[in-house]
Amino acid sequence: METRQWQDNPLPVKEIEFAKPKEADYVLYDGDGLELLIKSSVTGDYAQDN
């Protein structure tokens, strides 16, 4: 799994919004314990509320 460099400030909203699946899973970190796993592919049925 690919990892992003550890940072000591909050994870920017834009970085989360623009996070896209890559060939391998990867993690975004905020420096305060939050880890956001970005999966390489999505499986299952998901409903989105509009």
pLDDT digits (tens, 9 = 90+) for 6-43: 556 788 889 999 998 888 999 998 878 888 999 987 66
- Structural contact between residues 27 and 34, judged by C-beta atoms closer than 8 angstroms: no
Q: Parse the chain into domains and list their residue ranges.
A: 2-38
* pLDDT value of position 49: 55
pLDDT of 5 > 80? The answer is no
Question: How much is the pLDDT for 6?
Answer: 53
pLDDT at residue 44 above 80? no
Say if residues 44 and 20 touch (Cβ distance below 8 Å): no
Instruction: Return the structure tokens found at 41.
Output: 């592919």
Closest Cα partner for 36 from 50, 44, 12? 12
Tokens 């975004």 -> residue: 28
Q: Is there a contact between 11 and 30 (Cβ–Cβ < 8 Å)?
A: yes
